[in-house]
Amino acid sequence: MKLQIKLSNLLLILNVLICSSVIQKSLGQDKNNRPPNFIIIFADDLGYGDLGVYGHPTIQTPNLDRMAYEGQKWTNFYAAASVCTPSRAALLTGRLTVRSGMSSNKRRVLYPNSSKGLPATEITLAEQLKQVGYKTACIGKWHLGHKEQYLPTNNGFDYYYGIPYSNDMNMVVDIPYWEYWKQPNEAIKTTHFNVPLMRNTEIIERPANQNTITGRYTDETISFIKKNKENPFFIYLAHNLPHIPLFVSKKFKGKSKRGLYGDVLEEIDHGVGKIIAVLKEEGLENNTIVVFTSDNGPWLSFELNGGSAGVLRAGKGTTWEGGMREPGIFWGPGLIKPGLIIGLGSTMDLFTTFSSLAGAKIPGDRIIDGYDLSETLLHGKPSPREKLFYYRGTDLYAVRLGDYKAHYITEGEYGQFGKKEAHNPPILYNLSTDPEERFDIANENPNIIKEINSLISQHRSKLVLGQDQLVEIE
């Protein structure tokens, strides 16, 4: 009798535990049914070879390295342009900027005297996500128009905190631009650049203290996470650095063996670690995707104050690989399937991928150049992207199809890497075996060139150039 009672009690306890487990699992599923949060961390002028996990021997980036090991490291991930403004416009709209007018042959980026910015007709990723209930923030560099109608708060972002253009603008010293940089780093002061720090549409500090700007961007990101943790959120954290001028807080000054440039990157990496830690503290890590990449390659003209493209050729401003191929790290322990991804990806794909994961309908009234990488991120399947168009301004300089890249025009930048030259037939490289772009194999592969020529004809048959938004000044 006692044995039966004990057995029945045991069965009752097991039943309660099982029910409790089911309830907890159900609650967990309900919580996870909320669409994922997204954080894009966008560096400025960071090279393909500047992170520890991408091969740099002395810059220590333990937090980014850990993100890559726990998530996905992409080795063929690209910015959509090789300079700031068009690269940022393409990321946020999922479109080549020749379509929106946010690239130009006359002015490659927007300046403080520019009169226009991102057209209101363009749909940003923030606007996409707001349609399905997301809270949105842009923290850091904008560079898509500094006038109120072009600021983040008029482009789908609930909150903005940052510098509206590059941190080397509004120079107030009476020294020619290129002469100024010949000074030692100790002579370059944050007060020499009268750039504004804004909160929403108001200037709250001018000149912005760039010595502390990286840490403040991190703190603003963490604050937004904590305030909006009950809602799905999207944060676009676009650091002004390591674009020159290089500034760093006292805590990180002199810390890196790579010098000031390394100090800057190690402070950015530290901020990434703080953001990841807060996601874990708030129980958000299993439903958040964090992406780290950069707007274009390293500004090699600045020598030790510029970065490295690693094995890749050239850097910022060019359509060689070093100008546009970037680190691409995707982290999300509850969502991302860890692995090394060698398929193609682009910053334009973030628009399409995050829209898909959030349940936002892709606009059907325009051409979207981004691909949906969801199956690659969640399940490790091959990337659907097989082609890339390398534009400089409104001119198509090169095309990648699979492993092959054809250069129709090559041109250096900032006095480096050669003058503008057209190529007929194009120069052809196999980037899988020759990522340095050294060995022209055009003569041996006429069929590949024919296939790429056909792809260009298809592309141009549907291309409508947008009105130039960069050329007009006040």
Q: Give the active site residues.
A: 84, 143
Q: Sheet harboring 421-430: ordered strands across?
A: 387-392, 395-401, 404-410, 421-430
Burial of residue 29 (number of CB atoms within 10 Å: 0-12, 13-18, 19+): exposed
How many CB atoms neighbour CB 169 within 10 A? 18
Through-space distance between the first and last CA atoms of the chain, rounded to whole angstroms: 95
Segment (H or E) for 329 = strand 325-331
Cβ neighbours of residue 269 under 8 Å, at least 6 residues apart?
Answer: 60, 61, 62, 63, 64
Please provide the DSSP assignment of 238-286 as one string.
Answer: E--TTSSSP---TTTTT--TT-HHHHHHHHHHHHHHHHHHHHHHTT-GG
Size (the chain), residues:
474
In whole angstroms, give the CA distance from residue 360 to residue 406. 35
- Tokens 């490790």: give the residue: 380
Residue 40 pairs in a beta bridge with 236, 291
* Nearest CA-CA partner of 205 in 193, 196, 217, 215: 196
In degrees and rounded to multiples of 5, residue 463 shows phi and psi of: -90, 125
Q: For residue 7, give Cα distances in angstroms to 2, 18, 21.
A: 8, 16, 21
